[in-house]
C-alpha cells in the first residue's frame, strides 16, 4: 500500500498559516507523520505465526487490488482513510470550542460536540448534518501526544459495530485533536452512577450493553495482531440512541504478546480499580488482563455502583472486595443487585452473571475465560426470562409504584428512588470518578 491513503503533513494544509516555530516541534511533526505512514503499511506485514493464532479470520479481496485484508466477527481491519481536519474547521464545527458544547473531560483533554456535513465532513450549522465529538488535547501535554498516536494507530484501522468510529484528526498550533462519531446516549458511567437519572437502566438493557462491550473486546483480542485495550471501564463504553455499546478511548491500547510469549511487560498505566492485579504488581500485561477489567465493569452494571468510592462506608470502598465474597450466595446476591431495579430481573440470570463475574475476577489470568466464552455466556444470560412467580411479583410492584407516584403527584412533590441510602448514592461514584480519571500512572 502506498502513501496515497494518507494526508499530507500539516504544514501543507490549504489555508493554514501555522508553521513550527522551533526545530523541536519540527521533529515532533516529522516523527508523527512517519509514525502514521508506517502504520498504514503495517496492515499487510503480519507474521505467519500471528495468522495461525487466529483461525476466525478469512481473507477477503483487497480494495486496492494488493495485499488481502481480513474480516472477522462483523468487524474488519481496513485501509485507514481518515480526514485531516484543519483547526479552523474544527473551531467552526464546535462554535470555537464554546463551553456549552463540552461533552466531557479526561486526562487527554476536553471533548466538544460539533456538526459536520455527512458527505464532505465540512463544518455545518448546529443541527445540520451529523453530530461529532472532538477530543482536544491540553497544550504541551505529553500524555495527549501519546494517546493521540495510539488512537490513530489502533482505532484508525478498525471497523466494528462495537468500536466508536474515528472520522479524522488534526495537529496544529501544538494541539492534537481527534474527531469521532457522536454517541447520543453518552457513557455507561453517566447512566449508572450520576444523580438525577430519569429512569434506571432495566436489566435487559444492562445485559445488552455488556454484550456489545464484550463483542468489541473480543474483536480486539482476535485481530491478527492482538490488541490489549488496557483501560476498560464504564466511562469508556459509549451508547448510541438504542443503547448499543461501543468502546472508545484507545489511548492506552497496546499490541499483545508475540513469538509465543504469554504477556508483554510495560509500565503500569490505567485507572485504579479496573486494572488486573498481576499487571499492577508486576507490569506483566496479558490479553486476559482485559477480562479482569470486564468483570469489574460487569459487577458495576448489576450493582449500579462504581468500583472505588471513598464516600461509601468502611469495608465497601472497593466494590470487588466488598461484593466478591457474597456473589456465590443467592440470598446475599439479591442484596447486592441495584435496588433501583426493584427486583425486576430474572434471579437465575443474575446468579449466572455473578458466576461469570467471579470467573473474570480470578487472580490467575490463566484461570479467566477468554472474551469469546464471556460473550457466549452473556448471550445465554440474555435469553433467560423471569420466572412466572417473579413476573407476578413484578406486576404487584409496578402497581404499588404507580399508586405511590400518584400519591406524591397529588401533593406536587417530586419523588425518585435512590436505593437504600447513602451507601448506594449514585452521585458519590461520579465525584470519585473525576479523581480516578486523573490517577493514571505514566
Q: Contact 290/232 with Cβ under 8 angstroms?
A: yes
- With a CB cutoff of 8 Å and minimum separation 6, the contacts of 398 are none
End-to-end CA distance of the chain: 34
Active site residue 259: no
DSSP state of 75: E
Distance CA 291, CA 362 (A): 10
Distance CA 165, CA 155 (A): 7
Query: What single string gives the DSSP state of each residue in 143-194?
Result: HHHHHHHHHHHHGGGEE-TTBPPEEEEEEETTEEEEEEEPPTTEEHHHHHT-
Neighbours of 358 (CB within 10 A): 14
Q: Contact 176/137 with Cβ under 8 angstroms?
A: yes
Distance CA 104, CA 97 (A): 12
136 is in an annotated binding site: yes
∠ Cα 438 441 442 (to 5°): 115
Catalytic one among 117, 140, 204, 231? Answer: 231
- With a CB cutoff of 8 Å and minimum separation 6, the contacts of 99 are none
- With a CB cutoff of 8 Å and minimum separation 6, the contacts of 300 are 192, 234, 306, 307, 319
* 84 strand-pairing partners: 169
Known binding-site positions for ATP: 136
Which residues form the catalytic set? 231
Show binding-site residues.
136
Amino acid at each position: 500500500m502506498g502513501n496515497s491513503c494518507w494526508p499530507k503533513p500539516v504544514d501543507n494544509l490549504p489555508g493554514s498559516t501555522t508553521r513550527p516555530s522551533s526545530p523541536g516541534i519540527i521533529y515532533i511533526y516529522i516523527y508523527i507523520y512517519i509514525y502514521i505512514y508506517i502504520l498504514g503499511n503495517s496492515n499487510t506485514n503480519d507474521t505467519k505465526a500471528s495468522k495461525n493464532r487466529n483461525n476466525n479470520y478469512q481473507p477477503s479481496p483487497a480494495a486496492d487490488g494488493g495485499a488481502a485484508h481480513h474480516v472477522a466477527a462483523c468487524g474488519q481491519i481496513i485501509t485507514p482513510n481518515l480526514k485531516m481536519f484543519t483547526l479552523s474547521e474544527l473551531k467552526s464545527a464546535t462554535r470555537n470550542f464554546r463551553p456549552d458544547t463540552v461533552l466531557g473531560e479526561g486526562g487527554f483533554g476536553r471533548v466538544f460536540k460539533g456538526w459536520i456535513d455527512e458527505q464532505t465532513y465540512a463544518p455545518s450549522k448546529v443541527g445540520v448534518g451529523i453530530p461529532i465529538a472532538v477530543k482536544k488535547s491540553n497544550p504541551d501535554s505529553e500524555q495527549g501526544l501519546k494517546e493521540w498516536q495510539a488512537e490513530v494507530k489502533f482505532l484508525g484501522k478498525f471497523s466494528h459495530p462495537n468500536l466508536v468510529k474515528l472520522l479524522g484528526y488534526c495537529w496544529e498550533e501544538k494541539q492534537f485533536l481527534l474527531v469521532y462519531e457522536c454517541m447520543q446516549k453518552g457513557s455507561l458511567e453517566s447512566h449508572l452512577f450520576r444523580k438525577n437519572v430519569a429512569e434506571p437502566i432495566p436489566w435487559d438493557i444492562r445485559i445488552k450493553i455488556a454484550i456489545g462491550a464484550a463483542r468489541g473486546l473480543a474483536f480486539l483480542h482476535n485481530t491478527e495482531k492482538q490488541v490489549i485495550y488496557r483501560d476498560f471501564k464504564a466511562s469508556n463504553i459509549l451508547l448510541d440512541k438504542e443503547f448499543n455499546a461501543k468502546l472508545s478511548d484507545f489511548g492506552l491500547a497496546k499490541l499483545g504478546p508475540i513469538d509465543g510469549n504469554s504477556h508483554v511487560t510495560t509500565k503500569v498505566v490505567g485507572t485504579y480499580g479496573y486494572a488486573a492485579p498481576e499487571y499492577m504488581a508486576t507490569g506483566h500485561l496479558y490479553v486476559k488482563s482485559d477480562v479482569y477489567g470486564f468483570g469489574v465493569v460487569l459487577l458495576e452494571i448489576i450493582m449500579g455502583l462504581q468500583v472505588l468510592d471513598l464516600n461509601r462506608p468502611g469495608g465497601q470502598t472497593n466494590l470487588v472486595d466488598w461484593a466478591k465474597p457474597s456473589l456465590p450466595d443467592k440470598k446475599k446476591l439479591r442484596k447486592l443487585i441495584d435496588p433501583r431495579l426493584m427486583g425486576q430481573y430474572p434471579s437465575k440470570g443474575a446468579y449466572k452473571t455473578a458466576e461469570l463475574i467471579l470467573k473474570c475476577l480470578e487472580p490467575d489470568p490463566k484461570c479467566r475465560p477468554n472474551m469469546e466464552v464471556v460473550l457466549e455466556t452473556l448471550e445465554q444470560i440474555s435469553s433467560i426470562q423471569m420466572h412466572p412467580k417473579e413476573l407476578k411479583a413484578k406486576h404487584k410492584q409496578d402497581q404499588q409504584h404507580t399508586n405511590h407516584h400518584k400519591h406524591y403527584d397529588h401533593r406536587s412533590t417530586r419523588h425518585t428512588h435512590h436505593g437504600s441510602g447513602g451507601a448506594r448514592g449514585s452521585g458519590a461514584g461520579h465525584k470519585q470518578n473525576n479523581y480516578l480519571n486523573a490517577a493514571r500512572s505514566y
